[in-house]
Amino acid sequence: MPGNVFKLERFFKENPSVALGFSGGVDSSYLLYAGLSFGAKVKAYFVKTEFQPEFELEDAQKIAKQVEAELMVIEKSIKKKKKVASNPPDRCYHCKKVIFETIKAQAFASGIPIVIDGTNASDNIAGRPGVQALKELFIRSPLWECGITKDEIRSLSKEAGLFTWNKTAFPCLATRIPFNTVITKELLV
């Protein structure tokens, strides 16, 4: 087991009950698997918005079933938030803040003290508005904290038999819309 994975195991030993902001992508799927493998109670929260295609939810449900994880799906109309729908250059900040505030409220109501996400050590976090929202909300990023890169996550996921090991990254549908163009249902298709 690589040294960074030992760090991740230690993270889950020190934080045995966590809520995971879960997309069903490579990173959050491995994080879910790893946390459960290390004996932590990890509850996955998938916030379904207009900005994701249906297959993302299907993948999240499939991987949660594969690793026998508890998955909560929360429907949230992110488009109703003016700061998101107006599509400013810092849209990701506002969107991520709404999503993780929602997860945090649900987690705390369930007695889960820590919320985590799948940001990894390969992610360039400098200047990313969404990362700023995570910091403000005290969301932990154990893959990043433990120095685990995307390539390592893919390799570890393949070794674990997770179907997501080679899943292509799929950014949210709003990233296709130029900044300051109001986001409508028609533009999200």
Output the pLDDT for position 22.
Answer: 98
CA atoms of 27 and 63, how far apart (whole Å): 12
pLDDT of residue 148: 97
- Asked whether residue 169 carries a pLDDT value surpassing 90, the answer given is no
User: For residue 17, is pLDDT > 70?
Assistant: yes
Q: How far apart are the first and last CA of the chain?
A: 43
Which pLDDT value is given to residue 127?
76
31-35, 100-104, 182-186: the lowest-pLDDT one: 182-186
What is the domain-level CATH number for residue 173?
3.40.50.620
- How do strand 70-75 and strand 17-21 relate by DSSP bridges? unpaired
Tally the domains of the chain: 1
For 42-66, what is the mean pLDDT? 96
* Domain coverage including residue 179: 3-188
User: Which tens digit of pLDDT belongs to each residue from 108-158?
Assistant: 999 999 999 999 999 887 778 889 999 999 999 999 999 999 999 999 999
